[in-house]
Homo-oligomer: A and B are copies of this chain.
Amino acid sequence: MIHAVILAGGVGSRFWPRSRKHKPKQMLNIFGKNSLIQETISRISSLAPPEQTLIVTTRDLVKSIHQQLPDLKADNFLVEPVGRNTAPCIGLAAMKLMEQDPEGYMVVLPADHLISDREPFIACLKQALDTARQDDSLVTIGIQPTHPETGYGYIQYHPGRRKPSGAYEVVTFAEKPNYATAVRFLASGDFLWNSGMFIWSVRRILAEIESSMPELYAALMEIQRLKGYEVEQFTNLYSGIRSISVDYGIMERASNVAVVKAAFSWTDIGNWAEVYRLSPKDDQGNVNLNGHVLVDARNCYIDSPDRLVALVGVQDLVVINTGDALLICHRDHAQDVKKAVEYMERHQMDKYL
């Protein structure tokens, strides 16, 4: 059976004030009426229906995510006591799936990505599943880069070593590069963006964890022996695990890793400037979501559903007006929204976090 494992523990602060501690990016409906996680669940449902879906998230978020996905059952949620990056939570999901379906396959998907074309997306996942079935590869989805992005990790592949399924052999994984390196990656032609999606058999990923991360494997085995009421022990064991990504902890060290090139449009929208970039604009380059008053305003993004905004003589601004807080940010400083959130954390402005 195919199991969708949705990684939904993210705490991104770069979409403040729309995103909050209890409403991170994956729960926002930045585009359209559904939230990113609702879209993610819906998009994968033809391959893995809700009963074969496992949402991995944190205690802080599980209740509100469940409210957005009322069709799911408690059994569809796997709750981390604390966040420990992707390797431990993928290990936890694999351990749970091993109990119920040891011959199963996992499709690991981040909950907060933007993918508009469903059919080519499902086709790529099917190709990745074929690859994993054929030779038990660890398979990833790679995105053809369009610019020297420094916000994503990269995957180098062998253009000449193609598997029967159409997937390519992977040479290596690279962390988020600096700009010069990103330019070199783009020019080389054999680097793809790392989408953070993984496809593999439950048995294979657990074997890789056992060999590459024996401490994590040991902790998972201890957790497996706990009773359901041993919450405190679970918390202690999980908290003791080293925080590490699956890319770094497993993929970089594993052999027989393959990548399927995505044939669908994809973005890991990282901040408001990217939302602006992806939105339809008027003649002056403005994204005016609620019919606000613009006088000599250019290249601005305005989202203020409950209060009229008038922009006069400004440009390149992002304006996000929510019930209790207003962000006014230069588009070139969209990454610095997290600095405002950090300031509020330092000053105990909890009601705005």
Contact = CB atoms under 8 A, between A and B. Distances in A.
B295 A314 contact: no
B333 A307 contact: no
* Closest 9 A/B residue pairs (Cβ): A313-B333, A313-B330, A312-B329, A310-B340, A308-B325, A295-B339, A309-B326, A295-B340, A312-B336
A325 B312 contact: no
Of A307, A336, A352, most B-chain CB atoms within 10 Å: A307
Interface string A309-353: 111111001010100111111101110110110011000010010
Given A296-B333, A308-B352, A339-B295, A328 B314 contact: yes
A321 B326 contact: yes
Interface size class of A (residues with CB under 8 A): 35 or more
11 contacts: A16-B310, A293-B343, A293-B344, A307-B321, A309-B325, A310-B328, A311-B328, A312-B327, A312-B336, A312-B337, A326-B326
Contacts of A307: 321, 324-326
A314 B340 CA distance: 13
Contact of A313 (B293, B296, B332, B344): B332
B309 A317 contact: no
B312 A330 contact: yes
A304 interface: yes
Given A310-B17, A352-B308, A328 B324 contact: no
Main secondary structure of the interface of A (DSSP, over half): mixed
A293 B326 CA distance: 10
A319 B328 contact: yes
Contacts of A313: 329-330, 332-333, 336
Given A295-B333, A312-B328, A313-B332, 4 more contacts: A17-B310, A307-B324, A310-B329, A326-B326
Contacts of A349: 293, 308
Contacts of A339: 295-296, 312
A334 B324 CA distance: 26
A312 B340 contact: yes
A296 B336 contact: yes
Contact of A308 (B310, B326, B333, B337): B326
B333 A304 contact: no
Contact of A328 (B309, B336, B344, B352): B309
Interface string A25-65: 00000000000000000000000000000000000000000
B314 A329 contact: yes
A17 to B, nearest CB: 7
Interface in A118-155: none
A316 to B, nearest CB: 9
Contacts of A310: 16-17, 325-329, 337, 340, 344
Contacts of A324: 307-308
